[in-house]
Structure 1
């Protein structure tokens, strides 16, 4: 059965297999069960937590098969998968052979919009290697400043299924989409969408950079008003050129430089719009000041321009862009100022879990004592170190894959002093901060932008950031 043949409105008796328990699989199973589908959940794991989750679902009449995520149930007409399941799983090969479509939870949410008869809210969608969450939250802040009923949803942590099926009515949704989610979203068609940037990430899941880029590019398919791209990242513009969009949909660029026609950019400290004005050749509309962006780091100004472009595509007035940016407060652990101690500024960017994110952080300060290391996820660090070497006062390394960074530093910044902490316990952060303080001079920035994942030492990047902030505050108390 092809994906278009699965009814949007009558799910009664449809045999649907949900691949994976967890934050998206369980809600999908419950929603489909509530719509009358015959639901079977398959899951690779068979541990205590999985058994407890299975018991709750089985009490609602949902079949759960634990420890067997490879076999396709014989009656399956549709698979709904959680984003974490790789495309090369045997279950999906069996589905392809049987002609069974595979959707993600985002695709399911897209198909279920308007189930209650209400006009569904348009989606303004954002993807990219870095900056997605910040941009989506900036966008939601701008939309709210315009008086629109909106929510920041999707990969940001708020379930799209809950949003589209909930009681609250929205005028427009600001939607963060990961490459995983886009891979499994064949019919998604946004009002307008942006790809912020592209750098190697999640290649173990996608199999290649080309496949990763192609999945990111799916966000442009069928756009009706605007495809927003990054002028500084030619691949994002190429994805717009390749996209099959609605007639009249426009390519809108954003740049940290002076914008050309159909672009947003920066002139003399002002964010300006030369895309959504009457005369793009001669006119420029002031939107906000760089000082209205919090924090005004270059990559964050780029995020603000992308958010502004999507908002303007939706018809938002310039004053609302300014007010929305002024009202926005970044999430913790994203280039977050922790304290100034003895003339040294301490910045927590624990969210910089890959080299591309760390590169943006390192470009925002000078001189820097850099705290880095963790799980490299297959990354290499030569390009990152080459780009930031001239900004470095010193480096403190910790974590499982710190040797990869140390070796890159030895090759490309041999004059920079490096402290290598041969430990991966959580207490290493306190020592790292003290070592950084020893290397720093008044006027320097100690920047914790690890360029690596955190799970070798911490539960997640939030816990890593909290450990850094706690260590900085302890240092400040001693210095008081």
Structure 2
């Protein structure tokens, strides 16, 4: 079969794969990556009769009982061909005409050699979310509510799920964080709604999603090294709105999100719904005094509004209320309301919601100083929101900036900074920005990367803080230069603060 005829046959076969009951048997699939999403994809494909080859640069050590080894063993038993180890992902695992589809894990960029070779050969590439969408039931599948944005995705999805459940719906969340969405769509007990958190990586590899409603919370430079440009990153974020049926939710304070809605190809009758920290106009949700108000999903949008919750419902037991949490709550409420959730369930969902660790988490109070862990602030946009939530801050920052610019962040935060303590590989870039925009702010450079680094950081921060200040870990950078992940970084900070407080 020639390359052209193989491509035609391949396209015709894949076009029919729109639900789990389609004929997946014998489909020749390469799964790129043996992480959480790659394993879930391979497992599902094997269950439906596909012929699967799994490729990953990492191979488990002989005799290892690691999670990677366990995944490999399960897939081997199920009949997958495993191609693991150095060099495995450097090329297609066989002739292009013998591969019908590549399913990639979200972290693999388009320029990765295997994916680039697949694209060159005309082999379709799906992400794990695209595969999940195509493995929904043929009838009665749960509607999807999508959330993306540079920051706030996980919090918004969790708030949304709590609202859906408060309305009595069987709802779950998955996607970028937590359960792979392909596991949710194949749950034996169907869901009434699924809240899906989507990263720009995952959206890049989607092609046919048709959500009930979708939200883009914000757009700021991030992952430029993966996408190649801010324009490409924004375009992938905008794919969240493609095919939306009921509502496209955008951030009134971030015009880029409105532009993405305006450019989206949606179902006729789909509405643009804004959320704002100010007073909402018709077809918006916003804040009136201390009330979250809905002027989008009420009968008379011109003259009336529905009270959804109060700021106190969002704040819960937290010592302060960050404005971006209010924005997240409004976005979640808009998606919930698009799904028919009544106002009382929005309120009850917010009251039930609990923030994840390392997201503006209160660590300790000592001598009038608050210690706060926002290790999840892994880019400048997230750090900016965290810094501007406090009046006087000793800022703990640094790590891997991933090509991001910190100039605007530092300029905005400068009036609030008492001091800065910097660590991590790209700390010098932050130091230079501080020298330009906040030359009077004391800066401590912690060069060590050993296990005592965070203790040193905390001692410096404690010495610089005054009563009424907040010592805030909001790194504006990824953690992998020194820690396994942002959670490990936050744990190290909290442990160091505990030791510091105990020492008195």
Normalised-by-shorter TM-score class: over 0.9
Partner of 1:254: 275
Q: 1:432 to 1:180 in 2, by over 3 A?
A: same
Partner of 2:433: 408
Indicate the SS of the match to 2:78. coil
The one-character-per-residue Cα deviations of 1:372-393 (angstroms, maximum 9, x if unpaired) are 1112212222111100000011
Matches within 5 A, 1:337-352: 337-352=362-377
In 2, the alpha carbon distance for the partners of 1:254 and 1:52 equals 44
Indicate the SS of the match to 1:319. helix
Partner of 1:62: 80
- Partners of 1:17 and 1:73 within 8 A in 2: no
73, 80, 83: which is aligned to 2:103? 80
1:20 is aligned to 2:40: no
In 2, the alpha carbon distance for the partners of 1:217 and 1:268 equals 32
- Partners of 2:174 and 2:181 within 8 A in 1: yes
In 1, the alpha carbon distance for the partners of 2:56 and 2:397 equals 35
RMSD: 1.6
Partner of 1:353: 378
**Larger deviation, residues 306-315 vs 156-165:** 156-165
TM-score if structure 2 supplies the norm length? 0.92
1:367 to partner: Cα distance: 0.7
Partner of 2:407: 382
Partner of 2:52: 39
Aligned positions, number: 477
1:202 to partner: Cα distance: 0.9
In 1, the alpha carbon distance for the partners of 2:165 and 2:70 equals 40
- Partners of 2:314 and 2:350 within 8 A in 1: yes
- Partners of 1:226 and 1:251 within 8 A in 2: yes
In 1, the alpha carbon distance for the partners of 2:69 and 2:305 equals 59
Unaligned runs of 5+ in 2: 1-9
Partner of 2:243: 222
Indicate the SS of the match to 1:24. helix
446, 470, 486: which is aligned to 1:461? 486
1:51 to partner: Cα distance: 7.0
The one-character-per-residue Cα deviations of 1:446-479 (angstroms, maximum 9, x if unpaired) are 1111111111221111111111111222222233
In 2, the alpha carbon distance for the partners of 1:467 and 1:42 equals 34
**Larger deviation, residues 37-46 vs 343-352:** 37-46
TM-score if structure 1 supplies the norm length? 0.96
Partner of 2:3: none
Moved over 6 A (4+): 49-52
- Partners of 2:368 and 2:468 within 8 A in 1: yes
1:206 is aligned to 2:219: no
In 2, the alpha carbon distance for the partners of 1:402 and 1:58 equals 44
Unaligned runs of 5+ in 1: none
Partner of 1:274: 295
1:193 is aligned to 2:214: yes
The one-character-per-residue Cα deviations of 1:379-409 (angstroms, maximum 9, x if unpaired) are 2221111000000111111112111111111
**Larger deviation, residues 153-162 vs 105-114:** 153-162
Matches within 5 A, 1:262-411: 262-294=283-315, 295=318, 296-411=321-436
- Partners of 2:31 and 2:54 within 8 A in 1: yes
The one-character-per-residue Cα deviations of 1:293-347 (angstroms, maximum 9, x if unpaired) are 1352101100000000000111111111111111111001000111110011111
1:133 to partner: Cα distance: 0.2
In 2, the alpha carbon distance for the partners of 1:422 and 1:105 equals 40
175, 178, 181: which is aligned to 2:199? 178
1:72 to partner: Cα distance: 4.9
